[in-house]
Amino acid sequence: MHDSQLVLYDEDHRRIVAVGQLLVRDANAKGIFVVDRNGQLIAEAGEMRGIDTTSLASLTAGCIAATGGLARIVGEDEFPVHFHQGQRDNLHISLIAGRMILVVVFDERSSLGLVRLRVKKAAAQLAKIFEDIAKRADQERASGAVSTPFAEITDEDIDNLFSV
């Protein structure tokens, strides 16, 4: 069951953010968010500081999960691209490598066509990064070299969490 545990190192995060920053610039977007399908925020870039990113991640994953369910009902595997149009801001949501979700927030300074175009390139780059992460995880598992900060925690560490 834990085969799909996600471990993200500094270098992975830097690579993802670099792609995100480029996407923000090239697509004239306000911000981008990379979220995993279980609702965890992986990375963000752009000018949307201060928004509730935890809720954004959870609701995005819920939205993708619900429309994925709808897709299967009508005989599709997924709806890989979603577009939500607002009065000021719009959301472009796309699935990456079946596992990650890329959210682009943009306003009238950009257009859906431009965002779609730029997302295509960024999605391929992100897919490669996540492929590398998955490969590394597989190798670590195969070699038994999985190391997490939790390997050496004691029952006392756990107790201390609850004594606060």
Partner 1 sequence: MSFINYSSREINCKIVYYGPGLCGKTTNLQHIYTKTNPDLKGKMISLATETERTLFFDFLPLALGQIRGFKTRFHLYTVPGQVFYDASRKLILKGVDGVVFVADSQIERMEANVESLDNLRLNLAEQGYDLDRIPYVVQYNKRDLPNAAPLAEMKRLLNPKGVPDFEACASVGKGVFETLKAVARGVLQDLKQMSR
Q: Does the protein bind partner 1 through residue 74 (CB under 8 A)? A: no
Partners of 38 in the β-ladder: none
User: Is residue 117 classed as helix, strand or coil in its secondary structure?
Assistant: helix
Q: What is the DSSP string of 32-79?
A: EEEEETTS-EEEEEES-TTS-HHHHHHHHHHHHHHHHHHHHHTT-S--
The correct pick among 34, 66, 83, 116 for binding partner 1 (CB under 8 A) is 66
Cα 103 from Cα 73, distance rounded (Å) = 24
Structure tokens at 69: 């369910």
The correct pick among 25, 47, 54, 84 for binding partner 1 (CB under 8 A) is 54
Whether the CB-CB separation of 107 and 88 falls below 8 Å is answered with yes
Cα 17 from Cα 67, distance rounded (Å) = 27
The 10-49 contact track toward partner 1, x by CB under 8 A, reads x-xxx---------------------xxxxx-x-------
| Minimum gap (Å) between residue 109 Cβ and partner 1 | 28
Size of the site for partner 1 (CB under 8 A): 43
| Minimum gap (Å) between residue 63 Cβ and partner 1 | 10
Q: Does the protein bind partner 1 through residue 9 (CB under 8 A)? A: yes
Partners of 45 in the β-ladder: 32
- Could you list the residues that contact partner 1 (CB under 8 A)? 1-2, 4-10, 12-14, 36-40, 42, 52, 54-55, 58-59, 62, 65-66, 68-69, 146-153, 155, 157-158, 160-162, 164
